[in-house]
Structure 1
């Protein structure tokens, strides 16, 4: 196989049945082996250890939710648990959330990102989504976002409906690196948006540093395009795309299909990587980065690489949390890609 005949993601137009959307509401492969026992709290940030212990007890509460609270099971029904993990990038919130899911049991839980749940409502409709999730003990929402008012109101309504069905809830959010106050502000906004549930949620602050920044960079330059092409050539499970062509292709596929777009892909090569010029294009690329990270798919970036990928005005705008998360994750995947072909 030569570089010119390497498979391309733009050749794929996956069709995803509804059943698959529901079956994929599980923790990503990246966290498949993680648990509370594998989480290593940083002693410099006591809130990490406190959160682990609290979530262990939450797992027990989830098991009791919906049962009688009095003697011999009679009495007032226990209120379903509802916790909200608030903290910066890379402090292990997703690790903790997936560990909670593991403790409760995957069959009794539904796990997904905020975007995946909004996509699910778009694919199934609101009522069927409530019915599909209403039978779970726990619904875990990673990366709850406040960027889009419409989506936020939609998710707030969904959470109310699920809580009314005694489904326990757990969510996480991101804050800007080094911005101590913004985490609390995000939590307050979240609670204000779901006023009917505000008294049910317990906010758990998870302080710490981004562990990904300790081993990688979010300003990594690109490899020469010829090196990317040569590295992809002949590799099973590798794909090769020109960056602009891939961005155009993503605009023609619903984000709920991005996971299927990466089926059997083990390495992604991108040539001609350059700064993103449009917000809608950048947001679609962020979703793809999240799906690559979920599956631990290394990437090889040509062109300018991560350097300047999101222009300064994007990093200062309303979607900055998403962009910083994408840079952190893409940097880690790019380092993996370079190590793989070194």
Structure 2
């Protein structure tokens, strides 16, 4: 048995079809073709691994000699909620490679910049004579993983844009295979960005080392299923808990549930349960801790559907929690995030204090919570493109 209590399948296509048969997915021809393409990549990786093992010095020489055995990775782009992340995660689980890494691209680049800064500090301290940080950073990254899987490949930061070409040229020279999902085609990366002409060599390099696939699947089956379910459940009881779990299962589609975290201004915010583009919290996780707008925005940059369990009735002694909840709902609403909530009362009865600014502000929160249950809001949540400062909703 696998760690997520599902049968271990030898191929992405078989894993995909098993979820279709279980009713967790609706079969989609575009997704089926991509699953088969991932299986070809798995075959190529397995062949490369065997070839490398045939020579004890194969890996050493492969990092220095011109590469004739390049395994082309995949760059999958398409609209939000088409199944890109789901299929890449299946591939990552099944890829016959020990040294592999799956990361959000933003987190990977933050790691890269940390490594570069550490190298420069070491140079300053006289601990190394290597002035160029890129080769040693590429060495360390390639040693850690020669298959890199990136979710949400996007370039908005000029610091990232300026280093990508040199970094990935070094990684590809070291035999690293790239698999990435994105909402945009390679030619549209860093579009209208500052000094974009300096970034364009990376796009050309990328196309040499990956096959570009447009996943033109239909609207997300999970969003369709979730939109048929209630998204605000009250009061808090066993039936509400059952319906929340049912909606969670529909949203995650049988994916492995893990704990995650995001970095915000040097702090770590824990996501207790996460799968694909969906995260689940309790009210206490989000509003009883000293979190603010920056934390909530960082969460929705990564997760496009948010579950919030056990929102209590709030009063004057809990006004700080109420204030955080007001800010949270404002951010979720403004970015059209798909939200599923269980609460002790209906939105208009969640805050019972009659005085203070929170009482006035919560009227807007209640109104937004009602609107977020509407079909118009849910339809918009499933179709918007990601915002610049935070991704839009949809799963």
Give yes or no for TM over 0.5.
Answer: yes
Q: What is aligned with 2:394?
A: 328
Q: What is aligned with 2:86?
A: 95
**Using the alignment, how far apart are the partners of 1:205 and 1:30 within structure 2?**
31
Q: What is aligned with 2:269?
A: 258
Contact 2:283 2:309 in 1 (8 A): yes
Q: Aligned to 2:300, which of 268, 272, 286?
A: 286
Distance 1:50 1:310, change over 3 A: same
Cα deviation code 1:229-279 (max 9, x no counterpart)? xx99xxxxxxxxxxxxxxxx975434xx335x749x984215779xxx97x
Q: What is aligned with 2:221?
A: 211
Contact 1:84 1:203 in 2 (8 A): yes
Contact 1:85 1:172 in 2 (8 A): yes
Q: Aligned to 1:110, which of 101, 104, 115?
A: 101
Cα deviation code 1:122-159 (max 9, x no counterpart)? 33336554233213331111110133333244444432
Over aligned residues, Cα RMSD in angstroms? 4.9
Q: Aligned to 2:43, which of 47, 60, 64?
A: 60
Deviation at 1:48, TM superposition (A): 1.7
Instruction: Kindly indicate whether residue 76 of structure 2 is the aligned counterpart of residue 85 of structure 1.
Output: yes
Cα deviation code 1:184-214 (max 9, x no counterpart)? xx33224944323322221112122212311
**Using the alignment, how far apart are the partners of 2:42 and 2:88 within structure 1?**
11
* Higher RCO structure (Cα 8 Å, ≥6 apart): 1
Q: What is aligned with 2:187?
A: 188
Distance 1:212 1:253, change over 3 A: farther
- Tell me how many residue pairs correspond in the alignment: 254
Q: TM-score, normalised by structure 1?
A: 0.56
Larger Rg: 2
Residue segments in structure 1 that go unaligned for 5+ positions in a row: 1-27, 175-182, 233-248, 330-342
Contact 1:101 1:140 in 2 (8 A): yes
Contact 1:82 1:168 in 2 (8 A): yes
Contact 1:45 1:207 in 2 (8 A): no
**Using the alignment, how far apart are the partners of 1:157 and 1:76 within structure 2?**
17
**Using the alignment, how far apart are the partners of 1:322 and 1:29 within structure 2?**
30
Distance 1:203 1:163, change over 3 A: same
Deviation at 1:167, TM superposition (A): 1.2
Q: TM-score, normalised by structure 2?
A: 0.50
- Find the residue that maps to 1:79 and give its secondary structure: coil
